[in-house]
Amino acid sequence: MENNPEQKLEKLVRRELGTLPDRPAPSSLIPQVLSAVTLEQVVQRQLKALPERPAPATLIPRVLSAIEARNHRRWWRQPLLSWPIPARVPAVALACALAGLLIYCGFAIQESAAVGSVVQRIGGWFAFLSPLLDVLLTLGNALLVLAKAGQPYLILGVSLVFAMYLACVGLGTACFRLALTQKSI
């Protein structure tokens, strides 16, 4: 009894292949198959003898419309080298600054034993942001106090409002994309 699915499949394939008529190999192929090099040459000749397949009639208009759509993209969606100069300069400067910061941090971490000293040194550069950091830390501590004080409903409410906000943003994005999508006919 054949309970194995592989055996059932093998039996089905053999039965189906048995119904097909035998097809002899092309006579030009049999005497020439002696090595891999001659096989490659024979296959190459057989492929070159095949007729060209015509392209679908809709291919050229689709390609041209894709090229046209690519040419009419917004500037920030195009490659960086095609951006306008007033936008390209700050983007390149920011990228260079980030790369320099990463390189500096890498060397500074290698030189010092503690990562904290590197963070303090870099933190000195951004001292003007300390009021914003203080506000964020105060709000975070307030949320922690409320969470530890046993007010799960407040946390649940804030989480629910945040989830609803994210849902509205997602739904708005979907509607915006749906409204601006042009259907190709």
Residues 108 and 133 in one domain: no
Per the CB < 8 A criterion, the answer to whether 61 and 72 are in contact is no
Q: Residue 28: is its pLDDT beyond 70? A: no
**Distance from C-alpha of 58 to C-alpha of 67, rounded to nearest angstrom:** 15
Domain-located, residue 66: no
Per the CB < 8 A criterion, the answer to whether 104 and 111 are in contact is no
**Distance from C-alpha of 33 to C-alpha of 27, rounded to nearest angstrom:** 11
Residues 86 and 132 in one domain: no
Which domain does 89 fall in, by range?
Answer: 78-125
Domain-located, residue 38: no
Domain-located, residue 184: yes
Q: Residue 96: is its pLDDT beyond 90? A: yes
Domain-located, residue 152: yes
Of 157, 135, 136, which is closest to residue 146 (Cα–Cα)? 157
Residues 119 and 104 in one domain: yes
Residues 132 and 174 in one domain: yes
Overall number of domains in the chain: 2
pLDDT for 132: 81
Domain-located, residue 91: yes
Domain-located, residue 33: no
pTM of the shown model: 0.34
Crossing angle of the two packed helices 130-148 and 152-180, in degrees rounded to 10: 120
Looking at per-residue pLDDT, the higher value among 166 and 179 belongs to 166
In the predicted model, what is the mean pLDDT of residues 135-163? 76
**Distance from C-alpha of 13 to C-alpha of 45, rounded to nearest angstrom:** 32
Residues 138 and 184 in one domain: yes
Domain-located, residue 116: yes
pLDDT for 45: 87
